[in-house]
């Protein structure tokens, strides 16, 4: 899981930067819709994993690069492995999702403003925070 998160930081950071450069209004709205879905799922006390995945995929789609979309999909499929699920069980909480949603909003803002550098940093920061959350879960297991 840790290598996967590091890889996602590199790839999805660039996806966010590219999306900021090239995203059309409809693509930005699609990213916003994913965040709205995430918010609704949280309000319904559901784990918003599908909306989380959708948010990241829509950013990849906004790059206009099909290869990047496929890479992001593949990285998300890896996220469903047994070790990932076990770690997730130990660190998952409503507060985690509140933090993740705030981080997602911090990624969307520079994408919508077409600020590539800030979008890259925001996505890398988000995935670094996810790494830290997983590390805490890992430490709790050992």
For the chain, which residues make up each domain, given as ranges?
2-141
| Better-scored residue on pLDDT, 45 or 123 | 123
pTM of the model: 0.90
Predicted pLDDT of residue 83: 62
What is the DSSP secondary structure assignment for residue 22, as one 8-state letter?
Answer: H
Structure tokens at 87: 């770690």
Architecture of domain 2-141: Up-down Bundle (1.20)
Q: Tell me: the pLDDT tens digits for 51-81?
A: 999 999 999 999 999 999 999 999 988 877 6
Predicted pLDDT of residue 20: 98
Closest to 17 (Cα-Cα) out of 135, 122, 117: 117
Residue 142 confidence (pLDDT) above 60: no
Residue 111 confidence (pLDDT) above 90: yes
């Amino acid at each position: 899981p840790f290598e996967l998160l590091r890889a996602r930081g590199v790839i999805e950071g660039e996806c966010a930067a590219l999306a900021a450069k090239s995203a059309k209004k409809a693509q930005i709205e699609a990213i916003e819709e994913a965040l709205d879905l995430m918010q609704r799922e949280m309000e319904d006390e559901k784990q918003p994993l599908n909306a989380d995945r959708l948010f990241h995929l829509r950013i990849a789609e906004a790059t206009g690069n099909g290869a990047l979309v496929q890479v992001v999909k593949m990285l998300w499929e890896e996220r469903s492995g047994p070790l990932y699920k076990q770690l997730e069980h130990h660190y998952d909480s409503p507060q985690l999702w509140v933090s993740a949603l705030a981080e997602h909003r911090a990624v969307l803002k520079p994408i919508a403003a077409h600020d590539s550098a800030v979008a890259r940093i925001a996505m890398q920061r988000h995935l670094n925070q996810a790494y830290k959350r997983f590390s805490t879960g890992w430490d709790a297991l050992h």
